[in-house]
Every structure is written in C-alpha cells, then in structure tokens.
C-alpha cells in the first residue's frame, strides 16, 4: 500500500512538470502516457479553472490505470465500465480517499469520497475528449468512451433559480447571523457581500474569485465591474446603486476607504477570512453558499417545505440563474441581460424569460375554458 501511495504522488509531480510548447502539428512528440496527458493539458493553459478540473480528472484516471497495470492504449470499454464503478466507491478507501489537503501534502489523497453520478458523467465526458485529442494527435488509435450510450436528458424537477420569496428568505437568514464578536461581524459582512455580489452581477464563481478591487471602475460618471469569464472573455457589468452600497459597506467593514481605486490591483474583491486580506478560494466561496443555504433549508423544513427543498439545492451558479431571471422579470431588455451575463448567444439568455410562461398561463385562463360545469 505504501508503494502505491508513492506512485500516486510521483504521478502528481510528473503531471505538474513544465512542458516545452510544441508547434501545432498532426501528431505530438509524447512517448508515454504522462507526457501525452501533459501535452493535452497544455491546450487549456489560458483557461486556468478548466485546466485544474481536467488535470484532476486525468491524473485520477492515470493513477487508477497504473495500479491496474494498464496504459491508455490498453483501455477498452470493459475497463471504462470498471472505472465507472470505481468512481462511485474508490477502494481501498485508505489509499484513495482522505480529507482535503494541498496536492503536495504527504497526506493528500486523490478523492475525499466517491463521486455523485453527475460528477462521474462529467469525468467520462472529459476523458472521452482527451482520448479523442490523443487519437487526432496520433498517440492513440481508439476511443472506448465513445461507446457510452447517451441517455436522453430529462428536464430537472427543480429549475435552478430562486423566486422572490426564496431570495428574501436567504437575505433574512443572513441578517440573523450572530455579530457578537469581531470575527462574527466580519463573517456576517463577508457573507452579506458574497450573496449581494453574485446576485447583483450574475457573475460566475471563478469570475469573482479572480477579480480585484481595481476591477470596479468609474468612467463617464458611471460605475462598472470588469470581469474575465469563460474562454478569457472580457466583459463589463453595470454597477447598480444597491451593489455600490453593498461594496462600500463591505469595504468599510474591512477598514478600507469607501471607494475602490485603480491602484488596488492586488486587493481581492472577497477576502479569505478574518484578519486576512488574501483572496477567497473557489472552494471556500462554494462552501459558504452551501452552508448558508443548507442551514436555512433545515430551518424551513417544517414551516415551508417547498422552499426548503429548493433552497437546499442551491449552489453558487444558482445565484447567476436567479440574477438573470430577476433581471428579465424586472423588464430589462433581453439583449441587455445577454450583455450583463456575457452570453455568446441570445438563445441562452432567452431561457430565463419565465415571465412569458406566466403571461401565457394567465391569458389562457382569462380567455379560454370559461364554461362552467352544469
């Protein structure tokens, strides 16, 4: 078992080694699986969050293959099926699973626990893309992941946005957070700011984690928030009066001047913790959202079970969906919402037009099927 742990940590180090950038060609120069994976990962160097996710997926798979004494060229459909089962329950547990640690910590493990089905599906999709890339590069000859039968997507039972009542529940819960100590006051102010920022901007989690105070800019007598989104796409979001007030409040709580300046290029938009002005991590931001909504869901379970069910499922991306929906409901032109959300296509934004469905329902009831039963 100890030898296997050394192997796993050795793979982490090898995958992280720098690679000499190759000129684009029909094939790659890699002669082993690790180098082939590193070449594939190099394609995502300009998308850090994607690169981290893909690296984790690939290194878990290559570690598992190594333990099975297999290579990428040995992978068959049956091996993929075995790996699917493994992702649900990585065993032996003491080799594969452990509490979250930095990747180079001696007690680091590839998993905290087995993955949910949605995460497993995403892993297989990523690996399928990697295999296809390596086929086109001439390193592999077949892609067994393409044999996976695609299941017809079923509309989820819960649409991923909060209605006004549910959003108000969250704000009321935050206002009830304890503020007796200085640390509790900082936690309260940060939580209040996090929900306000994500809701009022519609930003993705990665966008606010990577943003800096200098990204709030004042030009032509207007405040804007500059962000870098998917695919390194730059965008500017109007700063509403409510958002500006929330920003000023948070800065005051952090003992900063009221307004941000262009010199604050190293100052995070959300700070990591009490007494530390370092940027909050992606995982900590996610944890704060889930903790607040999970605790609130428990509170509401007996008094409003429907809202409890919805709020219990909330993640950071729900706030982006909620922002888009509420902007459309407020009567903002759909093309403006598209710009605010930085969508590439108008069709993506149009799915938030729930008001049209409500109008459809009301008009049908008002004008059709009015005959009363005898």
The per-residue pLDDT for range 233-268, each reduced to its tens digit, is 888 888 989 999 999 999 999 999 999 999 999 999
What is the pairing mode between strands 234-238 and 276-279? unpaired
Instruction: Quote the pTM value.
Output: 0.54
Give, in order, the Cα–Cα distances in Å from 26 to each of 21, 129, 133.
15, 17, 11
Distance (Å, whole) CA 223 – CA 232: 22
Question: Does residue 188 register a pLDDT over 70?
Answer: yes
Sign of CA dihedral 157, 160, 165, 169: positive
Question: Does residue 26 register a pLDDT over 60?
Answer: no
Please say whether the beta carbons of 156 and 309 come within 8 A: no
Tokens of 81: 């099926």
The per-residue pLDDT for range 302-351, each reduced to its tens digit, is 899 989 999 999 988 889 888 888 887 777 777 787 777 775 544 444 45
Q: Could you tell me the domains of the chain? A: 2-147 (no CATH), 164-355 (1.10.443.10)
- The rounded percent of the chain whose pLDDT value lies above 70 is 81
Distance (Å, whole) CA 318 – CA 324: 10
**How does 20-51 read in b/e, with b if 16+ C-beta sit within 10 Å?**
eeeeeeeebebeebbbbbbbbbeeeeeeebbe
What is the pairing mode between strands 216-219 and 234-238? unpaired
Q: Tell me the CA end-to-end span of the chain in Å, nearest whole number.
A: 78
pLDDT at 6: 65
* DSSP letters spanning 177-221: S--SSHHHHHHHHHHHHHHHHHHHH---HHHHHH-BGGGEEEETT
pLDDT at 119: 87
| pLDDT band at residue 365 using 50, 70 and 90 as cut-offs | low
**How does 251-278 read in b/e, with b if 16+ C-beta sit within 10 Å?**
beeeebeeebeeebeebbbbbeeeeeee
Please say whether the beta carbons of 83 and 120 come within 8 A: no
Cite the beta strand spans of the chain per DSSP E: 216-219, 222-228, 234-238, 271-273, 276-279
More confident residue, 158 or 140: 140
The per-residue pLDDT for range 106-126, each reduced to its tens digit, is 889 999 999 988 889 889 989
Sign of CA dihedral 123, 124, 126, 130: positive
What's the CA dihedral at 314, 318, 323, 327 to 10 degrees? -100
The per-residue pLDDT for range 267-314, each reduced to its tens digit, is 999 998 777 788 999 889 999 999 999 999 999 988 999 899 999 999
pLDDT at 358: 54
| pLDDT band at residue 4 using 50, 70 and 90 as cut-offs | low
Sign of CA dihedral 125, 126, 129, 134: negative
| pLDDT band at residue 64 using 50, 70 and 90 as cut-offs | very high
Please say whether the beta carbons of 108 and 72 come within 8 A: no
């Amino acid at each position: 078992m100890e030898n296997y742990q050394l192997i796993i940590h050795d793979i982490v180090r090898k995958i992280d080694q720098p690679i000499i950038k190759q000129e684009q060609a029909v094939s790659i120069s890699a002669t082993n699986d690790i180098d082939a994976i590193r070449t594939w990962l190099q394609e995502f160097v300009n998308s850090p969050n994607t690169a981290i996710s893909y690296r984790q997926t690939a290194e878990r798979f290559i570690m598992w293959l190594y333990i099975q004494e297999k290579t990428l060229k040995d992978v068959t459909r049956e091996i993929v099926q075995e790996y699917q089962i493994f992702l649900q329950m990585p065993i032996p547990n003491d080799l594969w699973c452990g509490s979250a640690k930095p990747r180079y910590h001696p007690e680091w493990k590839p998993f905290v626990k087995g993955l949910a089905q949605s995460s497993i599906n995403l892993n297989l999709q990523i690996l399928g893309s990697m295999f296809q890339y390596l086929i086109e590069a001439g390193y592999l000859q077949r892609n067994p992941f393409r044999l996976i039968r695609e299941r017809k997507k079923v509309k989820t039972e819960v649409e991923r946005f909060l209605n006004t009542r549910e959003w108000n529940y969250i704000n009321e819960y935050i206002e009830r957070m304890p503020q007796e100590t200085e640390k509790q006051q900082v936690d309260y102010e940060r939580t209040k700011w996090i929900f306000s920022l994500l809701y009022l901007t519609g930003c993705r989690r990665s966008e606010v984690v990577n943003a800096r105070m200098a990204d709030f800019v004042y030009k032509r007598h207007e405040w804007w928030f500059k962000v870098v989104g998917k695919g390194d796409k730059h965008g500017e979001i109007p700063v509403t009066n409510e958002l500006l007030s929330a920003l000023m409040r948070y800065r005051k709580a952090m003992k900063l001047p009221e307004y941000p300046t262009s010199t604050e290029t190293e100052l995070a938009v959300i700070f990591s913790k009490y007494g530390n002005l370092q940027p909050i991590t992606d995982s900590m931001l996610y944890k704060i959202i889930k903790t607040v909504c999970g605790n609130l869901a428990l509170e509401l379970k007996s008094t409003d079970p429907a809202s409890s069910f919805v709020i219990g499922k909330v993640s950071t991306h729900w706030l982006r969906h909620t922002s888009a929906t509420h902007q459309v409901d407020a009567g903002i032109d759909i093309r403006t919402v598209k710009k605010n959300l930085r969508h590439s296509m108008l069709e993506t934004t149009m799915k938030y037009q729930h008001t049209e469905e409500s109008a459809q329902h009301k008009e049908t009831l008002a004008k059709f099927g009015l005959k009363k039963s005898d």
